[in-house]
Amino acid sequence: MKKVVICQHRLLHYRMGLFDRLRAACAQRGIDLHLVHGQASRRESAKKDEGSLPWAHKVQNRFWELGARDLVWQPFPADLRDADLVVVMQESRILSNTGGMG
Q: What is the mean pLDDT of residues 65-85?
A: 95
Q: Which residue ranges make up each domain of the chain?
A: 2-97
CA 4/CA 23 separation, integer angstroms: 10
Contact between 10 and 37 under an 8 Å Cβ cutoff? The reply is: yes
Is residue 9 classed as helix, strand or coil in its secondary structure? strand
pLDDT band at 98 (very low <50, low <70, confident <90, very high): confident
Q: 68 or 30, which is more confident? A: 30
Res 70 pLDDT > 80 = yes
- Please name every residue paired with 72 in a beta bridge, in sequence order, or none if there are none: 63, 94
| CB burial of residue 85 (10 Å; 0-12, 13-18, 19+) | exposed
Res 19 pLDDT > 60 = yes
